[in-house]
Amino acid sequence: MNFTRKAVIDKVVSILKNIKGVHAVCELEKEECKTLLEREMEAEKCILGGMGRGFNAGMREVLKREIVLAILHSNEYCWPPEKIQIVSMGEVIGEEIRCEEELKKFKERKDIILIGNTFVIYKDKVSKVLSQTSYFLFPPLSVPELKDVDEIYGVVAAMPSPPVDRYIKEKMRRFGIEVDRRDLGTELIGFNICYK
């Protein structure tokens, strides 16, 4: 089967635009990807909520891919199952719980502290939260909607930091896309093309 780079990207974009909550998709150029990584690494130096710095493993993986797409989504978008975690010396001391059923069970537990609506800290590990070795781990995310696209491989997604989110939204705004609603966020998706 013969296909072009553009045809593959168009196919992926079409699939992504049909996901509930996705409002727009745009491709990022290699130079933009370099800028995004610089901004992400700068954001990682900041302390998040007084509990540690960040490390966005997902962004690093996405930006290694041949094609990088940015999506703009509302809160109707269903996030992949991978969780943001607080890690200290290789041990998970807190994590985000997005599944309503799982969150309900956590709210009944006495051995956790709920921060906000979805983040739990394990009480027996609280002392490690404020240690200088703790950090927020933003993992690579899966994209189940693209698992059956034969023309691509190495699909991975990432949740960007606020500075990267603003950069992506500014690019989309230049294309005439409405990005200012409070419920709109961004995600990056990277993949490689199987050239035949």
The string of pLDDT tens digits covering residues 68-107 is 999 999 989 988 889 889 888 888 888 888 878 888 888 8
Q: Which of 91, 86, 32 is nearest to 59 (CA)?
A: 32
CATH number for the domain that contains residue 144? 3.40.109
CA 45 distance to own-chain centroid: 18
Give the total number of structural domains in the chain. Answer: 2
Residue at a domain's end among 120, 138, 156: 138
Residues 110, 187 within the same domain: no
Q: Where are the alpha helices (DSSP H) in 67-150?
A: 100-108, 126-129
Look-up: residue for tokens 């051995």?
111
Domain limits for position 127: 83-138
**pLDDT higher than 60, residue 1:** no
Q: Report pLDDT for 86.
A: 85
pTM equals: 0.86
